[in-house]
Structure 1
Amino acid sequence: MTGSASELARRLGEDAEAVCREYLSNGYRSGNHWIVGDVRNTRGRSMHVRLKANVKGPAGKWVDEATSEFGDLLDVIRESCGLVEFREIADEARRFLALPRPQPLVSDQSRQAAAARGSPEAALRLFAMSQSIAGTLAERYLAGRGILLTACERALRFHPGCYYRDLVTGETQMLPALIAAVTDIEGRITGLQRTWLDPAGNGKAQLAAPRRSLGNLLGNAIWLGLESGAPVPVMAAGEGFETMASLRTVMPSLPVAAATSANHLAGLTFPPGCRRLYIAADADAAGRHGIERLSQRAGEAGILALALRPRLGDFNDDLRHLGPGHLAAWLGDQLAPDDARVLLPSA
């Protein structure tokens, strides 16, 4: 067996159901598919893995209908185990292929626990390998998006050569990346989001998927301005990092949380003492279910949930095309009067 990505993926596909039982233990078989919540082994039904080759394609290919993500079984190993480097992914694939077929009744709890441990550890490892964004391509990228954050934003880092694998071709490359830590409300890193950048400084890298997340994301977020354990009476939450960082740019005293997806937004854990929650909504209403579910949960917890809506597509569009002054004025009309006076001193 060669060590190429395509060969490893093909060999894994020959035993696709055993791979799924090992790495997607929260799923189940239905016909010719393994059904699970997502590639990170979350419970659910949106991701389908083809178990046997047919006219639609080879075994081992999968698609997540909720996010439009797709890939092969190497991607399953990477995400479910929280691996970062291709060498680690290939080593784990070789280890699995050397084992006998897993039996369906073998306890899945130990496998799930191992995967859960692996993802945060991989995130911590990559975060530790990264550096401050000050003076780097990552800082220039954010500034180009109109996002100006202080040096005390500890969630953001820069990696000059972060591993990227094309999910279709299997080709790999090393590219600079903005690294954003996903943490719980105590400040513990549970995952991260990577945004690969164009080495020439022209925004994001020209990739099919220039932004990916790994780790334990549900309930957690990319937090800006959160002090571990401190009460957070007023905060804002939304899906995208750049949307929330744009709000933080014009309201630098407001703690904000970027949940990375609509599903994760719906399950966000509220920090202690939260009384008012502003939820950032895109103009096209994408992710409406996540917003509605988060609003419902906030109400059940006695938290007043209020929507913030952009003038254009999202708040980063507003920041870039209308400017921080116009964005601040637009937000001032949507904030509670007390919050507007505190968060927008010039309002």
Structure 2
Amino acid sequence: MTGSASELARRLGDHAEAVCREYLSNGHRSGNHWMVGDVRNTRGRSMHVRLKANAKGAAGKWVDEANGQHGDLLDVIEHSCGLVDFREVADEARRFLAMPLPPPQPQTQTHGAQGQTAAARGSSGAARRLFGMSQPIAGTLAERYLAGRGIVLSISERALRFHPGCYYRDLVTDETQTLPALIAAVTSLEGRITGLQRTYLSPWLDPNGKVGKAQLADPRRSLGHLLGNGIWLGLQPGVPVPVMAAGEGFETMASLRTVMPALPVAAATSANHLAGLIFPSGCRRLYIAADADAAGRHGIERLSQRAGAAGILALELRPRLGDFNDDLRHLGPTHLAAWLGDQLVPEDARLFLPFE
């Protein structure tokens, strides 16, 4: 292992539990270990990740008792994200740690049979290719799914697409199938696609005539480079964003966008990614969407601290029910707008709430 790699592994080990919660989300903590099925994030208990250094070794070291495999947290990132090139593994680790990226290095491209550059599985290139193969959501199951959740967005939103037969692999059985999916692009502030999130949908309507999520253990999956970036709705690259909202889940932020269609919002896809979201230029006020059960609290607190250090006023928005999509569906947009109006700075309420 190179000095750079060993240093990355050590720094990841300093945040071993956070790394496990992000990349081995199907596991759980047990004493000084994180228990999970294997390094690909399969459900189970055969793989143990040491969370704190002790006499047996450094934090972040792991062993899979089922097959004898062992390694460090760089291996976890590589296998759980499906990455191939070590450069991408290191980049993802640095993004997680919010480290500055090294200068880009020239890279050799691999070409397929048709002469196209092959994107490494799980990379930003793979995300851009999948997004490019998808179609606008108008008239699709994706639009019907969102409408069933009470979410109505402008047709000008470019972050959303639909794929009628998106590849899905069961991480436990290794069986594969294709399913319709809502595709949400994760982008940088410059508008470049760095990753995406797939929400797998049922191909059949439920008894109420609505489209639901596919009956899967994990119907929502992400790929690509996510940390610092987000699923942006209403962002215009290069245009200052004085007021914005950010949160963990896409449907939470799309619900806020439904009742505040002029407010730019970002969904970070996870608590750790929320903590590392990069602020747009000119940002003065940041509303952070929280869930009623305070899940992902550490992400909210870290983002608030970073905002304060950058001179940005951070304010929390709290739902009445479990989350803002619950509020939208069960209370309706008018009641949700009134509830938000009491939490916004008065000038923002006048500017962003058309129901006021």
TM range (shorter): 0.7 to 0.9
Aligned CA distance change for structure 1 residues 222 and 110 (closer, same or farther; 3 Å) = closer
Matched, 1:215 2:224: yes
Check 1:126–1:286 CA distance in 2 against 1; reply closer, same or farther (3 A cut): same
Query: Which residue identity is paired with 2:81?
Result: E
| Matched residue, 1:268 | 277
Q: Equivalent residues in 2 for 1:1-347 (5 A)?
A: 26-27=8-9, 37=19, 49=39, 50=47, 54=65, 57-59=66-68, 76-77=78-79, 79-81=81-83, 112=90, 118=120, 119-201=123-205, 202-347=211-356
In structure 1, stretches of 5+ residues that fail to align are 1-17, 29-33, 65-72, 82-91, 97-107
Q: Cα deviation per residue 1:305-346 (whole Å; 9 max; x = unaligned)?
A: 000000000000000000000000000000000000010133
**Within 2, Cα distance between the matches of 1:256 and 1:185?**
12
Deviation at 1:222, TM superposition (A): 0.2
Contact 2:227 2:273 in 1 (8 A): yes
Corresponding letter in the other structure for 2:299: G
The answer (yes or no) to whether the contact 1:281–1:308 under 8 Å persists in 2 is: yes
Distance in 2 between residues matched to 1:110 and 1:124, nearest whole Å: 15
Contact persistence 1:40–1:76 (CA under 8 A): no
The CA deviation at 1:37 is 3.0
- 1:14 corresponds to: none
Q: What is the root-mean-square deviation of aligned Cα atoms in Å?
A: 3.5
- d(CA) in 1 for partners of 2:347 and 2:302? 26
- SS of residue matched to 2:202: coil
Q: 1:52 to 1:259 in 2, by over 3 A?
A: closer
Residue segments in structure 2 that go unaligned for 5+ positions in a row: 11-15, 25-32, 40-46, 48-61, 96-118, 206-210
> Percent identity among equivalent residues?
69
Cα pair distance change 1:26/1:143, threshold 3 Å: same
SS at match of 2:152: coil
- Contact 2:161–2:183 (8 Å) recurs in 1: yes
SS in 2 for 1:203: strand
- Mapped partners of 2:274, 2:89: distance in 1: 27
Instruction: Please name the residue that 1:70 is paired with.
Output: none
Partner AA of 1:37 in structure 2: V
Q: Distance in 2 between matches of 1:267 and 1:147?
A: 26
- Checking the alignment, whether the CA contact within 8 Å between 1:223 and 1:255 is kept in structure 2 is yes
Any conservation in 2 of the 1:233–1:274 contact (CA below 8 Å)?
yes
